Structure 1
Amino acid sequence: MRVPDLHDDGWCLESGVERHLLHPESFPIPNEAARTSLAVGDFAKLIFLVATDDDDAPLVERMWVVVREVAGDTYFGLLDNEPEIDENDDFWLGAEVPFNQEHIIEIQKGDAGSRDYAARPPLRIWPRA
């Protein structure tokens, strides 16, 4: 699977694990067992870098996704937040987002409503190949 690229896709993900290793006291994350055992409908908060008109300064946003598919060590989720940026036309609520355990900075267990949301077709599907 191709990972999102800031220049090609207009966004990418930052590693929560790396950030935690740099600042363990001020940047806690869920343990690895929790990050690797998400189920469809669970929520994961990720750190997104979103391209802006200023190539040197991407917007950094922490946003929730709802897990819709677990494929080996890759999760596919539906974006559950509206990005706070107008310049990116392809990255909105309901877009499919690929991620793995290293990107997860917070977790919330899902419920019937989030499982229903996860079953919806994405507004934009992430290419699998």
Structure 2
Amino acid sequence: MSWYLDNVYELNKESPYTFYVPSSEVLDKLKVGDLVKLIFVTKTEEDDGFSAERMWVEITQINEKKFVGNLDNEPYRLSLKRGDEISFGVENICDTEYEDSTSCDWDFYFDTQVTVSDDVLEKREFNFMLRDSSREEGDSGWSILSGYEDDDYLCDPENFHIISIGVILNMDDSILEFIQEPPLCAYERNDKGEFYKINDYNWDAYLNG
């Protein structure tokens, strides 16, 4: 089964808040003997959807941003075996064994949960955000809507899911300006595509409805 190494910077460009890449601080620490994780991608997707394996490689040579190493995993399906020599670049490294100083940011993107309508996920667009008190650990209290949902849609809990805030930030990260504002607060997108705070939002109707 033929394969290639994925470019993690391209993957991060597509999903900047949900696809982690090691910081330059971590990459600069790498030395011979360290383990790094690479994504081995099949050139043809299998019938059951299999298309890639993430595996560790032990570095044996470093030449600036080019590396050589030995595979440290036993592949699940790929035509490789533990100990095989792998040549790769810094652009192929998706993880290391070092603690990353940026991990707190990534923990926020992955672990902070928001309630979002299916319409947002289908349209990849959101125009209204409301923050209530959190109900459980990890729940940010934010509810996110496309703005096209009608009353019947909003009354059906099956139309909503809880996801990581990183998915929403991939769509529009301008909300980072106010995402830490405490409840109760509500924001709406204006005709210019910018979010503004709704100062006269009817909280009595919302809380008692």
- Please give the per-residue CA displacement for 1:32-64, whole angstroms capped at 9, x wherever unaligned: 34224410011110110135695xx77301110
Instruction: Say whether the 8 Å CA contact 2:73–2:82 is kept in structure 1.
Output: yes
Paired with 1:74 and 1:99, the residues of 2 have a C-alpha distance of 6
**TM-score, with normalisation over the residues of structure 1?**
0.65
Unpaired stretches in structure 1, ≥5 consecutive residues:
1-5, 110-129
User: What secondary structure, in the 3-state scheme, does the structure 1 residue paired with 2:81 have?
Assistant: coil
Paired with 2:27 and 2:50, the residues of 1 have a C-alpha distance of 26
Unpaired stretches in structure 2, ≥5 consecutive residues:
99-209
Q: Aligned pair 1:22/2:14, yes or no? A: yes
Q: Which moved more, 1:27-36 or 1:73-82?
A: 27-36
Instruction: Say whether the 8 Å CA contact 2:65–2:90 is kept in structure 1.
Output: yes
Instruction: Say whether the 8 Å CA contact 2:45–2:51 is kept in structure 1.
Output: no
Paired with 1:49 and 1:58, the residues of 2 have a C-alpha distance of 9
**Percent identity at matched positions?**
32
**Letter paired with 1:100:** G
* 1:41 equivalent in structure 2: 33
**CA 1:22–1:53: 2 relative to 1, 3 Å:** closer
**Letter paired with 2:34:** D
**CA 1:23–1:82: 2 relative to 1, 3 Å:** same
Instruction: Say whether the 8 Å CA contact 2:37–2:54 is kept in structure 1.
Output: yes
Paired with 2:44 and 2:13, the residues of 1 have a C-alpha distance of 28
User: What secondary structure, in the 3-state scheme, does the structure 1 residue paired with 2:83 have?
Assistant: coil
Tell me the CA shift for residue 108 of structure 1. Answer: 1.0
Q: Whose radius of gyration is greater, 1 or 2?
A: 2
Instruction: Say whether the 8 Å CA contact 2:36–2:97 is kept in structure 1.
Output: yes
User: What secondary structure, in the 3-state scheme, does the structure 2 residue paired with 1:17 have?
Assistant: helix
State the 4+ residue runs in structure 1 displaced beyond 2 angstroms. 32-37, 50-54
